[in-house]
Structure 1
Amino acid sequence: MADVKNGAQHIASLKDGRQVYLDGTLVSDVTTHPAFRGAVASAANFYDIQSKPENIDWMTFDCGGGRRVSRAWEMPRSYEQLVSRRKSLSAWAASSCGFIGRSPDHVASCMIGQVMAGDVFENYSPARAKALRDYVAEATRNDWFLTYVIINPQADKSKGWGEQAEPDLSARIVDEDAEGITIRGGKMLGTSAIMANEVLVASLQPLRPGEEDLAFSCCLPMNAKGLKVLSRKSYEAHAVSEWDNPLSSRFDENDAVLWFEDVKVPWERVFVHRNTDMCRAMFHDTWAHTMQNYQAQIRLVEKLRFLTGLARRVTETIGTVNMPPVRDALGKLAAQTAMVEAMLHGMEASGSQQGEWFVPNKHMMYSAQVITQTLYPEIANIVRELSGGGLIMLPSSAADYGNDEMARIIRTTQQSPAAGSDEKVKFMKLAWDAVGSEFASRHLQYEMFYAGANFVTRGHSFRTYDWARATAMVDDLMASYDRPAMAPIQWRAA
């Protein structure tokens, strides 16, 4: 029997006394609460998938002593290993149709990316480098589900974080001693925090000199003393049934503000300490930012594939699939989805050996982000356009069928050339949950901004593009010809 984490073990690990608040109330158990239990079950399913006997060999790896863990924690040493790792991550993403953005493989990818450029940490501080290596080894062996909070709460964007009116707005170091640091303040966006084991606390946003109190990186268990999780509205809690809301009832990963009320962090869990430049370097001078966003593109490919399939089913359901304008739209969707998948393969094929590790192409990854930030809203809108009023003209809930007269009217007015009345309603409710519901609106915002605003991702693209090669082509061509010596041209009058 393989020693590998399964879903039941993950659910049990969440019964740890964590402080999650929803609607003004402390949630006693996120695994059974109606606002979270569906998402928790979906998270557990990731581990159930990898622990199936037929999946263990290709979805997990031996991290030592016969212990097998998710390939999310595997640091690829070759192109082939990078691809095999991606196939495992794709299987996880497909199980949620790409709707769980902060799945366990996201922050795991960030953490291994830091270790893969260990010299960056070693040059900064051998003690902090050892803390990072030891922590990642522990997280790997336990196959922990990590989330992160690396953004400060919004306030006055015209001012620096150290200039805000409320000193406790952003998590900062308020004390330290021989045992560790003490932090106080808020951080966001704690996506999937309610179902994670641990949280990485750091600052992706640039910090200025003088903001050293905010300049730290550490990892904490989600039940750390003084850590409070303030959940946003739960779409799962407002899902009438799985039939009415098949996506939001299962895949509402949740987002939250994490509040640190004088939380003590031992030194062995502190990776950056009062260093503003290292807060930047831990993401951008290592492979962390590349690996975590490469994972995001793996997930997004599965999500776009789902939406493209959804669009096709919409047109079959309402009988428009053979209309030339509709086929034009579907052909465009198919090409766009294939383009993103091709870019994913391109990141791998043009990857490079960096010491003992093989990493995806950083610029191609950023290029994909730039394109998909605007592509996702476009694709979602095409699905809405293809669906028309059918997305809105739906029964209020499955309870309508409990009234025989209403059920008769529904079956009379919900017609389709490709499906029965009940099946049409079931499908259109799925389509609405994917592109029209409040859950869908949150996903639109997520895909547009999880990597930063457009100018941020375009800045990454500008910074990483091989401008020297591109401009050299221009310069070489110009150098291949000279201005000829010519006498003035005498033009004859007509």
Structure 2
Amino acid sequence: MTVAKTGAEHIASLRDGRTVYIDGQLVPDVTTHPAFRNAVQSAGALYDFQAQPENIELMTFKPEGSNRRVNRAWQMPRSYDEMIQRRKALQAWANVHYGFMGRSPDHVASALVGQRMGIDVFRKHSPDRAKAFADYFDYAAKNDLFLTYVIINPQAERAKDWSQQADNLVARIVDEDSGGITIRGAKMLGTSSILANEVLVANLQPLKPGEEDLAFSCALPINTKGIRILSRKSYESSAVSIFDNPLSSRFDENDALIYFDDVKVPWDRLFVYRDTDVCRQQFHDTQGHSFQNYQAQIRLSVKIKFLLGLARRLTEAIGTTKIPSVSEKLGYMAAQASMVEAMLSGMEASGSKVGEYWVPNKHFMYSAQVLTQDLYPQFVNSIRDLSGGALIMLPSSIDDFKDPMLKKIIHTTQRAAAMEPEDKVKFLKACWDAVGSEFGSRHQQYEMFYAGARFVTAGHSFRTYDWNSATGAVDSLLSSYSLADELNGVTH
């Protein structure tokens, strides 16, 4: 057995008979299917990276009672220094995919880390459910599992409560016996479910009294009987080549709807049972929501820096870097990228001890989320502005280089002061894949909405800000003088 989980082990674990559909067909093996095989390899590359001898200490730790090291995403930091150590590991992992795998294995692991810190929430709900969750966390951590989650309901008739939607739309409890419960219905968005070992099923959206059939939380292997995964269109399968689509051909993690077709959930995999308020508490009264979104900001810091690098290289490719307005734009974008890193450092340094664990500053985390929801599309638009027509006037595909006459024309027309023609085309193809392709457009939508609509994230910021301190300063000023004193000539 190797010191830590490897890519070969992970890829082998995905050959488990899971039920995945795409383009109307059942996928016999996700590790070899042209819609998923490169993304599977990219997921495997993460585990290979952590298992390299030179990365073992950076990327992994040994959980108590385990004889094998696992990714630091499973580490519950007990100090500021441990939090920084953990964050550096997560940034190193994000660098492997340039920040484009939003649901890499460290995301849901981070959510579970925060929830495990708040195990008392589960204990107040039920000692049995708390034991089930604690035991599952230990199992998932010691086996370094890749988890996805489905924690929101399918969009339908928004004027109706979830319990009033059409039958079998929203996943709910339809039966139970001595062995567990049975669930039926759908959940979203199963991003990376095709690449994952197991799925956490929960409710981030508020539930109301009377919706107890919907109020559950559990974790199941992806290949559990009755779990049906309906993948969206694969950008990987549409990619012409790595040269033409270097990001979408390798890092398309795929979003999916997961339908639970009378799926049996054993009691020892059930963490919340028919309690609408505990469904909310699982995320918001523990550190679960904080840690999952803190991880997202860690990943985004890598992705924003990558986009900034694209912007700089773009101006070099078309020879505009020294134009004052362009260098001003690059300087402004650099300040924005540094702001993301500074906010990340701020939420860590101004974190605090909650029980025995060090947790990030919750308001700083939410404020970063609100600001970066706007920042990402601004970055994309800035790159488009800097490019002009450069991202459009490109060879149709790598096949154009196979024809000597076309290759000569390409070498004549794709000229740059700092790049050879082929290098310029290669770079501009990568740039377009990041900001203009269908894959790139999906990422803009993802970064704007993965944490919820603006009113949701701004609402978190509103609720967690220290308003008493802010309004107290105003009240202090107003109490330092009065109209009567002014009229009577009293000085302060």
Identify whether the pair has TM-score above 0.5, normalized to the shorter chain.
Answer: yes
- The residue identity in structure 2 corresponding to 1:135 is Y
Query: Residue 243 of structure 2 corresponds to which residue in structure 1?
Result: 243
- The residue identity in structure 1 corresponding to 2:155 is Q
My pick for the range that moved more, 204-213 or 316-325, is 204-213
Are the aligned partners of 1:201 and 1:218 in contact in 2 as well (CA < 8 Å)? Answer: yes
Distance in 2 of aligned mates of 1:388 and 1:168: 49
**What is the total number of aligned residue pairs between the two structures?**
488
Query: Residue 432 of structure 2 corresponds to which residue in structure 1?
Result: 432
Distance in 2 of aligned mates of 1:182 and 1:487: 76
- The residue identity in structure 2 corresponding to 1:408 is K
Are the aligned partners of 2:18 and 2:223 in contact in 1 as well (CA < 8 Å)? Answer: yes
Distance in 1 of aligned mates of 2:61 and 2:73: 10
Distance in 2 of aligned mates of 1:486 and 1:217: 63
Are the aligned partners of 1:19 and 1:26 in contact in 2 as well (CA < 8 Å)? Answer: yes
Query: Residue 338 of structure 1 corresponds to which residue in structure 2?
Result: 338
How far residue 484 of structure 1 moved from its aligned partner, in angstroms, is 3.6
How far residue 213 of structure 1 moved from its aligned partner, in angstroms, is 0.7
Secondary structure at the aligned position of 1:67 is classed as coil
Identify if the C-alpha distance between structure 1 residues 471 and 485 changes in structure 2 by more than 3 Å, giving closer, same or farther: closer
How far residue 405 of structure 1 moved from its aligned partner, in angstroms, is 1.2
Query: Residue 138 of structure 1 corresponds to which residue in structure 2?
Result: 139
1:259-317 C-alpha deviation (Å, 9 max, x unpaired)? 10000000000000111111111000000000000000000000000000000000001
Query: Residue 171 of structure 2 corresponds to which residue in structure 1?
Result: 171
Secondary structure at the aligned position of 2:249 is classed as helix
Distance in 1 of aligned mates of 2:468 and 2:376: 31
Distance in 2 of aligned mates of 1:485 and 1:101: 60
Distance in 1 of aligned mates of 2:247 and 2:124: 46
Distance in 2 of aligned mates of 1:481 and 1:78: 45
1:151-186 C-alpha deviation (Å, 9 max, x unpaired)? 11110111111111x211111100011111100011
Query: Residue 112 of structure 1 corresponds to which residue in structure 2?
Result: 113
1:200 and 2:208 are equivalent in the alignment: no
1:79-136 C-alpha deviation (Å, 9 max, x unpaired)? 0000000000000101100000000000000011111011111111111111000000
Distance in 2 of aligned mates of 1:487 and 1:386: 60
Query: Residue 189 of structure 2 corresponds to which residue in structure 1?
Result: 189
Matches within 5 A, 1:282-293: 282-293=282-293
Distance in 2 of aligned mates of 1:185 and 1:293: 27
Distance in 2 of aligned mates of 1:49 and 1:486: 71
Secondary structure at the aligned position of 1:260 is classed as strand
How far residue 488 of structure 1 moved from its aligned partner, in angstroms, is 10
Distance in 1 of aligned mates of 2:150 and 2:111: 12
- The residue identity in structure 1 corresponding to 2:386 is L
Query: Residue 88 of structure 1 corresponds to which residue in structure 2?
Result: 89
Query: Residue 59 of structure 1 corresponds to which residue in structure 2?
Result: 59
Secondary structure at the aligned position of 2:186 is classed as strand
Secondary structure at the aligned position of 1:432 is classed as helix
Query: Residue 128 of structure 1 corresponds to which residue in structure 2?
Result: 129
Query: Residue 492 of structure 1 corresponds to which residue in structure 2?
Result: none
Secondary structure at the aligned position of 2:390 is classed as helix
Are the aligned partners of 1:82 and 1:348 in contact in 2 as well (CA < 8 Å)? Answer: yes
Distance in 1 of aligned mates of 2:62 and 2:118: 22
Distance in 1 of aligned mates of 2:120 and 2:351: 20
Query: Residue 355 of structure 1 corresponds to which residue in structure 2?
Result: 355
- The residue identity in structure 2 corresponding to 1:115 is R
How far residue 485 of structure 1 moved from its aligned partner, in angstroms, is 4.4
Are the aligned partners of 1:2 and 1:68 in contact in 2 as well (CA < 8 Å)? Answer: no
- The residue identity in structure 1 corresponding to 2:102 is G
Distance in 2 of aligned mates of 1:291 and 1:128: 22
Distance in 2 of aligned mates of 1:370 and 1:58: 30
How far residue 203 of structure 1 moved from its aligned partner, in angstroms, is 0.9
- The residue identity in structure 1 corresponding to 2:344 is L
Query: Residue 149 of structure 2 corresponds to which residue in structure 1?
Result: 148
Distance in 2 of aligned mates of 1:12 and 1:286: 34
Q: Which runs of 5+ in 1 are unaligned?
A: 490-494
Are the aligned partners of 1:200 and 1:220 in contact in 2 as well (CA < 8 Å)? Answer: yes
Identify if the C-alpha distance between structure 1 residues 276 and 486 changes in structure 2 by more than 3 Å, giving closer, same or farther: closer
Matches within 5 A, 1:258-277: 258-277=258-277
Identify if the C-alpha distance between structure 1 residues 469 and 265 changes in structure 2 by more than 3 Å, giving closer, same or farther: same
Query: Residue 158 of structure 2 corresponds to which residue in structure 1?
Result: 157
Query: Residue 378 of structure 2 corresponds to which residue in structure 1?
Result: 378
Identity of aligned residues (%): 65
How far residue 2 of structure 1 moved from its aligned partner, in angstroms, is 5.2
1:444 and 2:452 are equivalent in the alignment: no
Matches within 5 A, 1:469-480: 469-480=469-480
Task: With the length of structure 2 as denominator, give the TM-score of the two structures.
Answer: 0.98
User: Once superposed, which parts of structure 1, at least 4 consecutive aligned residues long, lie more than 4 Å away?
Assistant: 485-489
Query: Residue 98 of structure 1 corresponds to which residue in structure 2?
Result: 99
- The residue identity in structure 2 corresponding to 1:66 is N
Distance in 2 of aligned mates of 1:351 and 1:104: 24
How far residue 396 of structure 1 moved from its aligned partner, in angstroms, is 0.7
Query: Residue 73 of structure 1 corresponds to which residue in structure 2?
Result: 74
Query: Residue 408 of structure 1 corresponds to which residue in structure 2?
Result: 408
Identify if the C-alpha distance between structure 1 residues 28 and 484 changes in structure 2 by more than 3 Å, giving closer, same or farther: same
Are the aligned partners of 2:193 and 2:199 in contact in 1 as well (CA < 8 Å)? Answer: yes
Root-mean-square deviation (Å):
1.2
Are the aligned partners of 1:202 and 1:216 in contact in 2 as well (CA < 8 Å)? Answer: yes
Are the aligned partners of 1:132 and 1:269 in contact in 2 as well (CA < 8 Å)? Answer: yes
My pick for the range that moved more, 33-42 or 81-90, is 33-42
Distance in 1 of aligned mates of 2:90 and 2:271: 27
Query: Residue 281 of structure 1 corresponds to which residue in structure 2?
Result: 281
Identify if the C-alpha distance between structure 1 residues 419 and 486 changes in structure 2 by more than 3 Å, giving closer, same or farther: closer
Distance in 2 of aligned mates of 1:38 and 1:488: 80
Identify if the C-alpha distance between structure 1 residues 115 and 487 changes in structure 2 by more than 3 Å, giving closer, same or farther: closer
Secondary structure at the aligned position of 1:138 is classed as helix
Are the aligned partners of 2:66 and 2:142 in contact in 1 as well (CA < 8 Å)? Answer: no
Identify if the C-alpha distance between structure 1 residues 407 and 128 changes in structure 2 by more than 3 Å, giving closer, same or farther: same
Distance in 1 of aligned mates of 2:249 and 2:463: 41
